[in-house]
Amino acid sequence: MSNQMLTPPTLSVKTAGREHLLNQQGKVIWFTGLSGSGKSTLANALELQLHQQGKHTFLLDGDILRQGLNQDLGFSDKDRTENIRRVAHIAKLMMDAGLIVICAFISPFELERQLARTLAGDGRFIEVYLNTPIEACEKRDVKGLYQNARAGKLGNLSGIGSNYEIPANAEVTIDTSQTSVTEAVKKILTFIKM
Amino acid sequence: MSNQMLTPPTLSVKTAGREHLLNQQGKVIWFTGLSGSGKSTLANALELQLHQQGKHTFLLDGDILRQGLNQDLGFSDKDRTENIRRVAHIAKLMMDAGLIVICAFISPFELERQLARTLAGDGRFIEVYLNTPIEACEKRDVKGLYQNARAGKLGNLSGIGSNYEIPANAEVTIDTSQTSVTEAVKKILTFIKM
ipTM of predicted assembly, 2 dp: 0.95
Distance from CA of B71 to the nearest CA of A (A): 7
Distance from CA of B12 to the nearest CA of A (A): 6
pLDDT for the residue numbered A143: 85
- Residues with Cβ within 8 Å of B188's Cβ and at least 6 positions away in sequence, in order, are B29, B42, B46, B126, B128, B172, B174
Q: What is the pLDDT of residues B88-142, one digit of tens each?
A: 999 999 999 999 999 999 999 999 999 999 999 989 999 999 999 999 999 998 8
Give bridge partners of residue B66 from the DSSP assignment: none
Cα–Cα distances in angstroms (integers) from residue B60 to residues B38, B53, B88, B119, in the given order: 15, 20, 10, 16
Q: Is B60 within 8 Å of B87 (Cβ atoms)?
A: yes
Instruction: Give dist(CA A48, CA A59) in Å, integer.
Output: 10
Average pLDDT, chain B: 95
CB within 8 Å: B67 and A2: no
Q: Which of A63, A99, A145 sits opposite B9 (nearest CB)?
A: A63
Q: What is the pLDDT of residues B149-173, one digit of tens each?
A: 999 888 889 999 899 999 999 999 9
Name the DSSP letter for residue A158.
Answer: B
Instruction: Give dist(CA A40, CA A81) in Å, integer.
Output: 20
Element (H or E) spanning A44, and its range? helix A39-52
Average pLDDT per run of 10 along chain A, which is 194 residues long?
A: 85 97 98 96 98 98 94 93 97 98 96 97 95 96 90 89 94 98 98 90
pLDDT for the residue numbered B155: 85
